[in-house]
Amino acid sequence: MSDDWWKSAVVYQVYPRSFQDSDGDGVGDLRGILSRLDHLEWLGVDVIWLSPIYASPQADNGYDISDYEAIDPTFGTLDDFDALLTAAHARGIKIVMDLVVNHTSDEHPWFLESRSSKRSPKRDWYWWRPPREGFEPGAPGAEPTNWRAFFSGSTWAYDEESGEYFLHLFHPKQPDLNWENPEVRQAVYAMMNRWLDRGVDGFRMDVINLISKVLPLRDGEPLPGGLGNGFPLYACGPRNHEFLQEMHREVFAGREGRFLTVGETPGATVDDAVLFTDPARAEVDMVFQFEHVDVDHGPLGKFDPQPLDLVRLKAILGRWQAALGERGWNSLYWDNHDQPRVVSRFGDDRDHWAASAKALAAVLHLMRGTPYVYQGEELGMTNAGFTSIDQYRDIESLGAYDELRAMDVPEQRILDGLAAMSRDNARTPVQWDASPHAGFTTGTPWLPVTANHAWLNAEAQRADPDSVAAFYRALIALRHDEPVVAHGTFAMLLAEDPQVFAYRRVLGDAVLTVAANLSGQDATARVDAAHGSLVLHNLGADTTPYPAGAGEVPLGPWEVRVYLARQAAR
């Protein structure tokens, strides 16, 4: 297996809470995942990325960790984990763990110790600061900087005991670790090493571009509402690359195994990503960029979504394709546990549900990079359809609701924004079958199962060769069988076309042409001729070789055609 085996791999993200429950408590667990490995093997994925299963108060569904080396009882035991790892490996599937080390839970012993006294040896493991000069401790405006937290409010929480504030870029239950302190870094590396010794195959690193803050901490540009934008002062900060190179040396460098590392890097530019992923720099294999999933955010932010501008989306993805590939590497994703369902967001989940799910899958998977499938995406699962605030569980959604209400945004507008964009859209239980709770649990699911599971479910789709799931399976097989998919060059075609997403991949004598109509109206893709066979198609059984006419591919609503030709190397 070569060092860059992950270039031809497909990763499947499991969000354990919503994947499969085995004990009837309504929350998914490790034994549940074990019982569904058949599905993942059938799909053909190479790697599972497991969202956090560590001990956690679950304020942010496990992204608030109180013990990095224990399994949360909700999900099972270390024995259950080992059994899952062994069973996955036996099927040739690797497991990549979520690594959440920008912050811990406020219930982590490190933080409890840090909080216990100003003289605690771990005081400096977190970011403690006195109130702003001239302000009474705890008084409005006394926060050490004006930064706005990701999930609403200030990034600073006041601790009455010591009269100081601690930093939390996310929720107050997620205090930021101080990566300037070498003991913190060594503790993280030691923990990572123990997981690798246990047999895991790598890490997905949560917000790993936020770990280095600009010193001294200072105010950001003012935002409407009184707080400020600290983002430029902690995203891709001054020591970010140094820390990742150190991590690589301390954790991965001496090991024999073949790992996958992917850094989650909100706000990273293409130039940042090249630095993070250039193999010569030994940082991470790839990063999750956000430009393409922020494309529809409106003036009020994420919960103010705008119609998709396809030309803009293609320009963003094309730019990432051009910059990463020879040097550095892309990850490819539409969905994860923080994003709404792509078929509801960029597709058409009413009139062209299956076709649009497949067309979006094809344009994503056949670009250059490593594709990620988020659980249920392979079934074309849709947004949750919640209409009232009581139905939401996600702290980001609940925080945004309160904040937008306080800004006098009309309630219906907020609810529409949440219905389109809430993270809970991705978190409803996986729809395994048509039974009352979709085969997810025998109890009451922690978040309701979407009603369309009666017809939209894995059991039905695995029996149907034309299903969305069968199409994902074919895409994954194509990547495994045809090296041009993983390794070919990329050229965007028809960049200005507002309906068609088309591109060409070339490797040696193989030429792969992808033409997709991402609209509900007929379209024509004028892509220059390269004779070949139709290897994937999402509508009916047409196998017309390309081109049908002179370099013109007629495309019905949401139709995608993928042609593979062999020709003399260019």
Among 60, 201, 296, 377, binds ligand ISL (CB under 6 A): 60
Distant-in-sequence, close-in-space partners of 116: CB < 8 Å, separation ≥ 6:
none
CA distance 337 to 332: 15
Strand partners, 14: 50
For the bound state, the minimum distance from the C-beta of residue 150 to ligand ISL, rounded and expressed in Å, comes to: 5
* 304 touches ligand ISL by CB under 6 A: no
For the bound state, the minimum distance from the C-beta of residue 421 to ligand ISL, rounded and expressed in Å, comes to: 8
User: Helix or strand or coil: residue 97?
Assistant: strand
Closer CB to ligand ISL, 29 or 396, in the complex: 396
Closer CB to ligand ISL, 265 or 431, in the complex: 265
Distant-in-sequence, close-in-space partners of 205: CB < 8 Å, separation ≥ 6:
99, 101, 261, 262, 263, 264, 284
Q: 337-376 mask for ligand ISL (x: CB under 6 A)? A: xx--------------------------------------
Q: Which residues are catalytic?
A: 206, 264
Closer CB to ligand ISL, 243 or 353, in the complex: 243
* 150 touches ligand ISL by CB under 6 A: yes
421 to 440, contacts with ligand ISL by CB under 6 A?
A: 423
For the bound state, the minimum distance from the C-beta of residue 207 to ligand ISL, rounded and expressed in Å, comes to: 5
Closer CB to ligand ISL, 75 or 558, in the complex: 75
Closer CB to ligand ISL, 29 or 60, in the complex: 60
* 324 touches ligand ISL by CB under 6 A: no
Among 170, 374, 401, 558, binds ligand ISL (CB under 6 A): 170
Closer CB to ligand ISL, 97 or 500, in the complex: 97
Strand partners, 97: 50, 203
Burial classification of residue 222, based on how many CB atoms lie within 10 Å of its CB (0-12 exposed, 13-18 middle, 19 or more buried): exposed
* 202 touches ligand ISL by CB under 6 A: no
* 302 touches ligand ISL by CB under 6 A: yes
CA distance 518 to 360: 8
DSSP per residue over 369-423, as a string?
SEEEEETTGGGT-------SGGG---HHHHHHHHHHHHTT--HHHHHHHHHHH-G
For the bound state, the minimum distance from the C-beta of residue 98 to ligand ISL, rounded and expressed in Å, comes to: 8
* 47 touches ligand ISL by CB under 6 A: no
Among 76, 202, 266, 445, binds ligand ISL (CB under 6 A): 266
CA distance 343 to 355: 10
For the bound state, the minimum distance from the C-beta of residue 100 to ligand ISL, rounded and expressed in Å, comes to: 5
Identity of the residue numbered 256: E
For the bound state, the minimum distance from the C-beta of residue 59 to ligand ISL, rounded and expressed in Å, comes to: 10
Token pair listed for 196: 């690798």
Closer CB to ligand ISL, 338 or 424, in the complex: 338
For the bound state, the minimum distance from the C-beta of residue 384 to ligand ISL, rounded and expressed in Å, comes to: 16
Q: What are phi and psi of 111, to 5 degrees?
A: -75, -40
- Which H helix or E strand runs over 475? helix 468-481
CA distance 519 to 356: 8
For the bound state, the minimum distance from the C-beta of residue 214 to ligand ISL, rounded and expressed in Å, comes to: 19
For the bound state, the minimum distance from the C-beta of residue 235 to ligand ISL, rounded and expressed in Å, comes to: 11
User: Helix or strand or coil: residue 149?
Assistant: coil
The dihedral region occupied by 73, where left means phi > 0, alpha psi between -120 and 50, and beta the remainder, is alpha
CA distance 149 to 119: 27
* 333 touches ligand ISL by CB under 6 A: no
CA distance 65 to 57: 7
* 207 touches ligand ISL by CB under 6 A: yes
* 63 touches ligand ISL by CB under 6 A: yes
Q: State CA 259 to chain mean position distance.
A: 18
Among 206, 291, 304, 424, binds ligand ISL (CB under 6 A): 206
Among 396, 403, 424, 559, binds ligand ISL (CB under 6 A): 396
Q: By CB under 6 A, how many residues form the interface with ligand ISL?
A: 14
Closer CB to ligand ISL, 413 or 566, in the complex: 413
Q: 91-110 mask for ligand ISL (x: CB under 6 A)? A: ---------x----------
- The answer to whether the beta carbons of residues 486 and 8 sit under 8 Å apart is yes
Long-range CB pairs of 442-448 (<8 Å, 24+ gap) are 442/21, 442/24, 443/21, 443/24, 443/25, 443/26, 444/26, 445/21, 445/26, 446/17, 446/18, 446/26, 446/27, 446/393, 447/18, 447/384, 447/393, 448/384, 448/391
Closer CB to ligand ISL, 220 or 532, in the complex: 220
CA dihedral 213, 216, 217, 221 (to 10 degrees): -100
- The answer to whether the beta carbons of residues 126 and 112 sit under 8 Å apart is no
490 to 529, contacts with ligand ISL by CB under 6 A?
A: none
Q: Which residues form the interface with ligand ISL (CB under 6 A)?
A: 60, 63, 100, 150, 170, 206-207, 264, 266, 302, 337-338, 396, 423
